[in-house]
Structure 1
Amino acid sequence: MKLNLLKLKRLLPIGLLFITWFLLSATVPTSSSTKENRKRFVGIWEMVVAENESGIELRVPPGYLKFFGKDGSYMFVIVTPEGTFNSQQGSFKVLSEDIYSENIKFSINPNLRNAASKVSYSFLNEDTLQIKGTVNGVPFVEKWKRVKTPVI
């Protein structure tokens, strides 16, 4: 019973953030090709692999989530096993078949607030997304898996 309560406490912040994000998302008209590309992003993704500066793949612990909204919003959340979390949110825009931009409007890390970056992306399949970029001079390479959620 105590273990289930701890799991519930850990998942509560994620649930509240997801509900808030979902309610704020709305469809915004865009050009046909970018709209189709953006549709592929929409949903919840969990980071599964990150590369260090030497190109060595590192396994990422569970709880690194990114939410892409229909309206071009996104939220990045890290939830630790202890139930603490870190977040940033902003907007994203698909610029081409392999580049999108992220504009961070809010971050718990003050160095990331109002940062903007262009990110290379490729869909390895419909449920796997690889991204590469640099934020404030720090390079990153990440692989994300789509989180399957029940229809509400």
Structure 2
Amino acid sequence: MEPTFNKMTAAGYHAIEQEIEDLKQQRPERIRILAAAAALGDRSENAEYSSAKRDLGRLESRLRYLNKQLQYAQIVQPADNDQLDIGKFVTIEFLDDHDQITYQLVGKQEANLEQQKISFTSPIGQALANHTVDDVVTVNAPNGAYQVKVIAVKRA
């Protein structure tokens, strides 16, 4: 089976690299805590040992996951055109209430609504892909369809 590559921005790729480095720096301390807890004696009833082992396991699991993300990452550079694609910023107007908001279209691993980053695989991301300024787009969301108008498209 052919591997599926995860499209992401260069910034998203570097954020994963940084998280990996941070976790690698935490690893020696977690191992030290585990060793200290193991030295306390009977591991079957040692809550500190169980907790430290679980914490180290979570860290190792997260590292494996992030390394796989990088292994199958495909960094996408936004095209130099007016069409919306990964990495570009889009300002949209919701036609029902005329509210405007600016989002960045990113890979699914980078999506974060608090930072106005939406995944290209989300319903709104899929609907907006490859559209240009003044296009009216119908978004088929789980709670019903709605329309937005593309106000601006900018490169990152």
| Pairwise same-fold verdict (TM > 0.5) | no
**What TM-score, normalized to structure 2?**
0.34
Between 1 and 2, higher relative CO (CA 8 Å, sep ≥ 6) is seen in 2
More helix per residue = 2
Q: Which has the larger radius of gyration?
A: 2
* TM-score normalized by the length of structure 1: 0.35
